[in-house]
Amino acid sequence: MIVDDITLNDLSIIGNTDSNAIWQYLNFTHTDGGRQYLKKILQQPLHNIPAIQDVQITIQQLLLVEQQWPPNITNGTIMVLEKFFETPVDSFKPRPDPFSAWMYATFKKSDYSLIKYSVEHTISFLQGLQKIKQILGEGNSKITAIWLQTIQLFLTKPMVQEMLHFNAENPLSRSEVLTYGHFIQHHIKRDAEILINIYHQLDAYLSLAIATKKFKFHFPSFVESEEPLIHAVDLYHLQLTTPVPYCIDLNRQQNFLFLTGANMGGKSTFIKAVGVCVYLAHIGMSVPAAQLQLSLFDGLISNINLTDNIAKGESYFFNEVHRIKKTIEKISDGKKWLVLIDELFKGTNQQDAVKCSVSVIEGLRKMHNALFILSTHLYEIGQELHMHSNIQFKYFETGLQNDQLIFSYQLKDGISNDRLGYIIMRKEGVVDLLNKL
């Protein structure tokens, strides 16, 4: 699925600040490399259903063994091993005898201490991999099968087999420390780098499995279809503490959702919730919805958080027009797209905005290869669109009780007629301040 940087930022997948990013919300990794790989996963949506399903199986398999995950491997363990490869020590025989080993440990104390410390951490790493191999079995997915084959091939090396039998209750002799240290530093650097990379990947996918369990997400199902579709039951935005779920149906017959409602009523959250769910589904992740059925999308594009560009002398409205132009150019390829547009044409006067909005909607609604969700503050244009059977009208209702705004966040059929701008100004005391001038 094609997704540009603007859309990734609009949906806060990676985000400019980690605290607001979707990746951080899903981050339960234990290693620095795992965190980096998790970011990589979340920036690379997949392009075919078998690949997506293989990731789903991988996460589900890790979910089953999460409680048995070995504690042997930590970020510190990997850092020690990586540092050992880059740290020179005085040379010694590959298999020193007890006297030679005693001499080295006595007269090269600092080097020996480093070797011993590194060997112990390497053994912990290897024993951790062995445990992972045992609990994952043969691997149900293609991804885990490749990982486990690589791990198994390495663990069968004779010297590695010796190291795996280490028991902390029976400390290594000086000869064993130096023998294993020489083997690690001179014979398995490339293998160790591969295994560390595999563990980082395991750590990242395990993080997604933990998130699935913690937040009670469900795995979506993909439909082999030449036409775009989304069917969602109780879908919500994963970053909300007490979300109100939504149910939506978008398909070729009704491919355009026209969304209205007052500011703060929930329009932007709804649009982002749909976008995030569809995006997570395309990386193979579970989603915040009781049920999500969808087609494979070729692309996802949004127009949500645009700004003006003072340096280039570009207005907000210019950037809106430019983004719409880019959107039309991209989705004219005949492939399946999901298009998210929040508050169309806020950057110009109402008369221009109405004319521009009607023109855009009338054009976009003809593109049956794409699904559209578009919110607007221009409620009146909805009346001009009722003749089109492929447009469905939804709104978020806002009420007033005891001079307090009430937001239900319930998605309802129809077009909003709320006019709350002046009420909000009065409630916040702006009207009183103006009257006193």
Q: Is residue 5 one of the residues assigned to a domain?
A: no
Encode pLDDT of 413-431 as tens digits.
Answer: 998 877 666 666 666 677 7
Q: Is residue 7 one of the residues assigned to a domain?
A: no
Q: What's the total number of domains in the chain? A: 2
Encode pLDDT of 209-246 as tens digits.
Answer: 999 999 999 999 999 999 999 999 999 999 998 899 99
Which alpha helices (DSSP H) does 26-173 contain, by range?
Answer: 32-42, 49-65, 75-86, 98-107, 109-136, 142-155, 158-164
123, 86: one domain: yes
DSSP bridge partners of 233 = 291
189, 299: one domain: no
pLDDT of residue 428: 67
211: CATH: 1.10.1420
Encode pLDDT of 395-413 as tens digits.
Answer: 988 776 666 677 778 899 9
191, 83: one domain: yes
pLDDT of residue 145: 93
Within a 10 A sphere around the Cβ of 178, how many other Cβ atoms?
26
Q: Which range has highest mean pLDDT (5-19, 75-89, 338-352)? A: 75-89
DSSP one-letter code for 287: B
CA geometry: angle 36, 42, 48, nearest 5 deg? 130
The range of the structural domain enclosing residue 299 comes to: 221-435
Q: How far apart are CA 421 and CA 407, in angstroms?
A: 14
Q: How far apart are CA 20 and CA 37, in angstroms?
A: 19
pLDDT of residue 407: 78
Q: How far is CA 287 from CA 34, 275, 389, in A?
A: 21, 11, 30
More confident residue, 119 or 307: 119
pLDDT of residue 142: 93
Element (H, E) at 303: strand 299-303
pLDDT of residue 354: 86
Would you say residue 349 has pLDDT above 90? no
Q: How far apart are CA 348 and CA 359, in angstroms?
A: 15
pLDDT of residue 265: 74
Q: Is residue 18 one of the residues assigned to a domain?
A: no
pTM over 0.95: no
pLDDT of residue 306: 61
Average pLDDT, the chain: 89
- Residue closest to 303 by CA, chosen among 319, 323, 321: 323
Encode pLDDT of 177-212 as tens digits.
Answer: 999 999 999 999 999 999 999 999 999 999 999 999
CA geometry: angle 126, 132, 134, nearest 5 deg? 105
pLDDT of residue 420: 62
269, 414: one domain: yes
Encode pLDDT of 259-314 as tens digits.
Answer: 998 777 789 999 999 999 999 999 999 999 999 999 999 999 999 876 544 344 35
pLDDT of residue 417: 75
Q: How many CA atoms lie within 13 A of 165 on its CB side?
A: 7
Q: How far apart are CA 258 and CA 374, in angstroms?
A: 5
SS3 assignment for 3-60: ECHHHHHHCCCCCCCHHHCHHHHCCCCCCHHHHHHHHHHHCCCCCCHHHHHHHHHHHH
Percent of the chain beyond pLDDT 90?
70
pLDDT of residue 433: 76
192, 227: one domain: no
First vs last C-alpha separation in the chain: 56
- Over residues 123-134, the mean pLDDT reads 95
Q: Is residue 24 one of the residues assigned to a domain?
A: no
pLDDT of residue 313: 38
Q: How far is CA 437 from CA 364, 430, 431, 432, 433, in A?
A: 47, 11, 10, 9, 7
196, 267: one domain: no
50, 170: one domain: yes
- Position 346 confidence tier, pLDDT thresholds 50, 70, 90: confident
- Residues whose CB is less than 8 angstroms from the CB of residue 368 and which lie 6 or more positions away in sequence, other chains included: 227, 252, 255, 390
